[in-house]
Structure 1
Amino acid sequence: MLKYRNISFIGAGSMAEAMISGLINKAGISPERITAANHSNVERRSELINKYDIQAVSFNELSLKNTDVIILAVKPKQAEEVLQQLKPNLQDHHHVILSVLAGISTPFIEEIIGKHLPVIRVMPNTSSMIGESITGISAGKFVKNEDLDLAQELSKAIGKVKIISEKQMDVFTGIAGSGPAYFYYLLEHMEDVAVENGLDREMARDIAAQTLYGASKMVMESDDSPAELRKKVTSPNGTTAAGLDALDENGGGKAIEAAVENAAERSKTLRKEFEKVPVL
């Protein structure tokens, strides 16, 4: 189904590029079926054309006549302005809108466009560039089963998918949307301390990244919970226990919880800043 759809990205930033890369390189979508549009950054459009062989145009040049799927990938503060500009060209029974806008709800989008169009929130992360995203999907009130199937098919092209409710999207954003940055931050510090203790930086990076990858794979392939896996590799008075003690003493667990909660709260704040429609 997806390979026969024409897809237009409204916005040409890092998230749009991650999804474009995943759709082309992992799902085999023809680049000629993908268009990216931004307001005035000609250099960015040229970069995407040269890198992915897609179409890239200014927002004013974008035609939605041959577009089936519209992916909103602008900054949340631009949401209302962009939706108002798109509104005259949106057609019932033709367009499906997918939104990757953090903190912007489907009711808000539905009210702005004023049409009975299917609107689906899709929250991937930047791992979609290598086909390893975890994407949350929540459906608006005009979404039919075939629309949800389309959103899932598109999202599966860039990784795994979870269907969640609108009210769960903030915490999902705090974990999955922002989560890669938490792990990169962790790897940064593991790499730095390894270098300080005599390891080559590239080697240290490989060691830390493979360790994280292996641990993640264990969680995904084991029936044990993360807590149970942690206990299995922690011998009393051993090196792992010493490391975990240091994490506890320095508030490691609470820091992780706070990171997720802060990101989720920021998602809620964005909605309050840019919306007038409450989440149902």
Structure 2
Amino acid sequence: MKTLFIGAGSMAHALMSGALKAGVLNNEEVYVTNRANQERLNEIMHEFCIRKVNRASRYDVIILAMKPKDFHEAADSVRPYLSGNTLIISVLAGITMEHISDRLDFKGAIARAMPNTSAAMGKSATAVAFNQYLSPSQKEWTKTLFQSVGIAAEVEEEKLDLITALSGSGPAYIYYVAEILKHAAVELGLEEGLAESLVTQTIAGASAMLSESGLEARELRRNVTSAGGTTEAGIAALEDHQVRDAFFKCISSANNRSQTLGHELKENSLKK
């Protein structure tokens, strides 16, 4: 599949890296373009041995991976690469398939996906929605693309804002927790290097238990929370500081922002 990435940021890099490693994409058939950062474009082309966009070509697949706010401006430059058989895959938060179709004046196959940057390690959690124009082979190829970089689930499009808040932004929440744990350990007397290695391995081990033990998170937590013990004391402090509510507000706020972003971008495009 002759594939063009529009955008060369972290998500494009992660998806490219994972899919090329898995052999779903062939670097001889992958092209990339970037709106402004020529240095970044050169870096990614060199790293993956891929080609700069050929402006006279049409592509089987176009992956929209620019910043959502740049979609409106980029749309005019995307149209020349489209044919009636092109599959558009968007990884843009908040922008609906209907809006993409309208802005590109394209009545064809569109998939909207929300992976995360763990795709670079083959560990993404991706949700993907499809419009009615995909052929069975296009739908299968799209699923294979995202399965090559982790797990992928088909969902209704209206769930994608919430999934963006949960798993799209989710790695940043985990990194934030790791940052806080390390900071607390250092403040209480551990060497920075030791604190970092312990936190990293603790999170990796807990992740493996979640994915491989067959037990739910609640049961795993209870299994290590002895009455009157250290874990119980730590969790009680988290409950006292309403960490559960804070995470609910975290997901809710990100979900609302994804919805608002889509509305704002659509309104702005109608004004121009």
* Range class of TM-score, shorter chain: over 0.9
Quote the residue 1:62 is aligned against: 55
Cα-to-partner distance string for 1:233-271 (whole Å, 9 max, x where unaligned): 111111000000111111211111111111111100111
2:76 is equivalent to residue 87 of structure 1: no
2:138 is equivalent to residue 147 of structure 1: yes
The counterpart of 1:40, out of the listed 16, 36, 44, is 36
Unaligned runs of 5+ in 1: none
Quote the residue 2:7 is aligned against: 11
How far is 1:122 from its partner? 1.2
Task: State the alpha-carbon separation in 2 of the partners of residues 63 and 231 from structure 1.
Answer: 60
Residue identity in the other structure for 1:55: R
Task: State the alpha-carbon separation in 2 of the partners of residues 153 and 28 from structure 1.
Answer: 7
What is the DSSP-based 3-state SS (H/G/I as helix, E as strand, rest coil) of the residue aligned with 1:36? strand
Task: State the alpha-carbon separation in 1 of the partners of residues 125 and 135 from structure 2.
Answer: 22
- CA root-mean-square deviation: 1.8
8 Å contact from structure 2 (residues 94, 259) kept in 1? yes
What is the DSSP-based 3-state SS (H/G/I as helix, E as strand, rest coil) of the residue aligned with 1:275? helix
Quote the residue 1:170 is aligned against: 161
- The alpha-carbon distance between structure 1 residues 245 and 62, as it changes in their structure 2 partners (threshold 3 A), is farther
Task: State the alpha-carbon separation in 2 of the partners of residues 102 and 63 from structure 1.
Answer: 29
Unaligned runs of 5+ in 2: none
What is the DSSP-based 3-state SS (H/G/I as helix, E as strand, rest coil) of the residue aligned with 1:269? helix
2:266 is equivalent to residue 275 of structure 1: yes
TM-score scaled by length of structure 1: 0.90
Quote the residue 1:24 is aligned against: 20
8 Å contact from structure 1 (residues 26, 130) kept in 2? no
How far is 1:63 from its partner? 4.0
Task: State the alpha-carbon separation in 2 of the partners of residues 260 and 62 from structure 1.
Answer: 40
How far is 1:46 from its partner? 1.4
- For residues 1-280 of structure 1, the aligned pairs below 5 Å read 5-27=1-23, 29-57=25-53, 62-65=55-58, 67-93=59-85, 95-275=86-266
How far is 1:193 from its partner? 1.8
TM-score scaled by length of structure 2: 0.92
Task: State the alpha-carbon separation in 1 of the partners of residues 56 and 146 from structure 2.
Answer: 24
How far is 1:38 from its partner? 1.0
What is the DSSP-based 3-state SS (H/G/I as helix, E as strand, rest coil) of the residue aligned with 2:74? helix
| 23-32 vs 146-155, greater mean Cα deviation | 23-32
8 Å contact from structure 2 (residues 5, 62) kept in 1? yes
How far is 1:101 from its partner? 0.4
What is the DSSP-based 3-state SS (H/G/I as helix, E as strand, rest coil) of the residue aligned with 2:228? coil
Cα-to-partner distance string for 1:85-114 (whole Å, 9 max, x where unaligned): 322441112x10000000001111122223
Task: State the alpha-carbon separation in 2 of the partners of residues 28 and 162 from structure 1.
Answer: 18
8 Å contact from structure 1 (residues 136, 162) kept in 2? yes
Residue identity in the other structure for 2:155: I
How far is 1:162 from its partner? 1.1
Q: Which stretches of structure 1, 4 residues or longer, exceed 4 Å deviation after superposition?
A: none
Cα-to-partner distance string for 1:148-196 (whole Å, 9 max, x where unaligned): 1111111011111011111100110001110000000000111112222
Q: Percent identity?
A: 36
Task: State the alpha-carbon separation in 2 of the partners of residues 243 and 15 from structure 1.
Answer: 35
Task: State the alpha-carbon separation in 1 of the partners of residues 188 and 22 from structure 2.
Answer: 39
Task: State the alpha-carbon separation in 2 of the partners of residues 156 and 140 from structure 1.
Answer: 19
Cα-to-partner distance string for 1:46-96 (whole Å, 9 max, x where unaligned): 111222221135xxx53442x211000111122223223322441112x10
